[in-house]
Amino acid sequence: MRNLILTLLCVAAAGTLFIIGVIYDIRPLFLIGALPDWLPLLTGWMRLGQRNPQARTAGMVHGIITLIAYAVGVVWFIGIDLIEVRLSFLIIWFYAVLAGAAATAYAVRSGEA
């Protein structure tokens, strides 16, 4: 349960930084927000669904959507300064958060989290 709480805190911090960065077009917040966003993966706090196929599938969907969001974020970061690009990053990243929440819910339901 401790890992779940730490993961949620990291995602909340990342989301706050991403929202501020997108609204005010502060590109460095993209990189700064990426640190707490990826921290649960790097520390192993986010290892869910090793036995539950639903959690594993939702986790893979979460990973794919996250990579797509970061590809759009990199486009914004390298200099295509359109509000549509910034908002697209934020919306796709939020979908990744929802997929991660689904993976967590499946893992908790099966007793793996």
pLDDT tens for each residue of 62-106: 999 999 999 999 999 998 889 999 999 999 999 999 999 999 888
Between 108 and 22, whose confidence is greater?
A: 22
Domain span at residue 32 reads 2-109
Please name the amino acid found at residue 73.
G
Number of domains in the chain: 1
pLDDT tens for each residue of 13-68: 999 999 999 999 999 999 999 999 999 999 988 876 568 888 889 999 999 999 99
Q: Is 6 within 8 Å of 40 (Cβ atoms)?
A: yes
pLDDT on residue 6: 94
Using the predicted structure, report yes or no on whether residue 111 has a pLDDT greater than 90.
no
Measured CA to CA, the distance from residue 17 to residue 9 in angstroms comes to: 12
Other CB atoms closer than 10 Å to residue 110's CB: what's the count? 15
Q: What is the pTM of this model?
A: 0.91
Between 68 and 111, whose confidence is greater?
A: 68
pLDDT on residue 85: 96
Measured CA to CA, the distance from residue 33 to residue 13 in angstroms comes to: 7
